Structure 1
Amino acid sequence: MNEILAFAAISLLLVISPGPNSVLILKTVASRGLRPGVENIFGLVSATFAHGAISILGLSAIILQSSEVYTIIKYLGAAYLVYLGVKTILATLSKSSVKDTGDELSPITAAPGNSYRNFGEGFLTQILNPKVSMFYLAAFPQFISVGSSSYYEAFLLVSLHASIIFLWFLALATMLSKWKVASIGENMQRWVQRFSGGLLIGFGSLVVRQDT
């Protein structure tokens, strides 16, 4: 029980730390609303289970030992974050142009987008982050006893981590959604989206700069 609580505490600290996942939820809720944000979260959770399965099967150790494969994954993740950031900023500029021409379109009334796209954004943001597998590789030996039940224990830890991700980001998305509707206007929403887009670009740049 103590090991589980310790793992939960470490996972919670990692989840609540500012990072691309938090910015993704901020960007999505600000531009599309709560439901697309929740679809992002399901993508994050699914990718977390995928990382867990890769780690349990031992494939992540092989990937991380290959500097070439690790570098490719890292740069793909960085490129995707930059892509999301640029797309977010460009979307706010196009909305401003539409408003200037008199057409009715705003962050509140705009279409929420395709559910598969929202899910995919969350999934790709998480699956292209090799640090998740690195976390499992470091944590599993510390919290799992060697034996026939080790796979079961590993799955429980991954499930616990995924549950923390779901609950934390659901609470964050709900809070952002209420704040968005109640407290800020359309112009401020666009600036929030631009800010989150800039953060995504910044995180992508940081990923490239790490270990270089």
Structure 2
Amino acid sequence: MPNAAEWWVYLGAALLIAFAPGPGILYVLARSIRGGSREGVRSAFGNSLGASVHVLAAAVGLSALLMASAVAFTVVKLIGAAYLVYLGVRALWELRKGSAEPGEGSPRQRGSAVVQGFFSELFNPKTAVFFLAFLPQFVHPEQGSATPAFLLLGSVFVLFTLGADLLVAAFAGPLAARLARNPRWWRRQQVVSGGTLIGLGGALALSQN
């Protein structure tokens, strides 16, 4: 486990990284703009569940196996990229067909936000890379099993990112609600939301290992 000084360093670094604009925050922002605060909150919790799987994988050594295989890393990366692009294209297609209307979306759409957030984060190998690169700096295997330290440090970081995502949903949701009162601006924000998801997928697909 980290000592007291290392804990302060870790908490400060984790806060800065969690609240820095990144793919996770942009994803929640896009979903909040599309479906309001509730969809953004559900997406945030989905992201956290996906990140928690990465924490568990890092703790038991599965992430290290993924990083050791270039083929496995690329496959997971492309699956995640394709999924984000699919979500963006579907949003634009629903808008084109006229099946999307201003508001919070259908109950089915709202319920799927958690699942979509979970899979978008689960199939992001960059999260696995981050945990493997960042957490070991604060783990001391010579003191005993590193698994509890990985789990604790990773869980703290997931809570920080969840807090950042929830703040984004809280601020973006009311903006989406106001824009929804103007059909022209609402359609534009839907295009931005779908385009952001497609852009995130493209960025992930083109990113280097």
Q: Which bin holds the TM-score, normalised by the shorter protein?
A: 0.7 to 0.9
2:114 equivalent in structure 1: 119
Structure 2: how far apart are the matches of 1:160 and 1:208? 28
Answering whether residue 197 of structure 2 is matched by residue 194 of structure 1, we say: no
* Equivalences, count: 204
C-alpha distance in structure 2 between counterparts of 1:204 and 1:114, whole Å: 20
What's the counterpart of residue 102 of structure 1?
none
Counterpart in 2 of 1:36? Answer: 39
Alignment partner, residue 202 of structure 2? 205
Report percent identity of matched pairs.
29
Residue 130, structure 1, aligned to residue 133, structure 2: no
Which stretch shifts more, 186-195 or 79-88? 186-195
The one-character-per-residue Cα deviations of 1:29-52 (angstroms, maximum 9, x if unpaired) are: 223222222111111111111000
Match of 1:108 among 103, 106, 109: 103
Q: CA deviation at 1:135?
A: 1.1
Q: Which residue of 2 aligns with 1:166?
A: 162
Asked if 1:150 corresponds to 2:146, the answer is: yes
Alpha-carbon RMSD: 2.2
Native 8 Å contact 1:74 1:208 kept in 2:
yes
Structure 2's unaligned 5+ residue stretches are none
The correspondence of residues 14-93 of structure 1 with structure 2, limited to 5 A, is 14-93=17-96
- Give TM-score, length-normalised by structure 1: 0.86
Q: Cα distance, 1:138 vs. partner?
A: 1.1
1:94 pairs, out of 89, 97, 100, with 97
Q: In the alignment, residue 180 of structure 1 is paired with which amino acid?
A: A
Q: Which runs of 5+ in 1 are unaligned?
A: 99-104
User: In structure 2, what is the Cα distance between the partners aligned to 1:22 and 1:194?
Assistant: 18
Give, in whole Å, the separation in 1 of the partners of 2:12 and 2:62: 26
**Structure 1 position 14, deviation (Å):** 3.1
The normalised TM-score by structure 2 is 0.87
Measure, in 2, the Cα distance between the counterparts of 1:154 and 1:20.
23
Deviations 1:44-75 (A, max 9, x none): 11111100000010011111101110110011
CA separation of 1:208 and 1:136: change in aligned 2, threshold 3 A: same
* C-alpha distance 32-193 of structure 1, shift in aligned 2 (>3 A): same
CA contact (8 A) 1:36 1:113 kept: no
**What is the identity, as a one-letter code, of the residue corresponding to 1:14?**
I
Alpha-carbon distance in structure 2 between the residues aligned to 1:208 and 1:193: 23
Residue type matched to 1:81 in 2?
A: L
Question: Which residue of structure 2 aligns with residue 101 of structure 1?
Answer: none
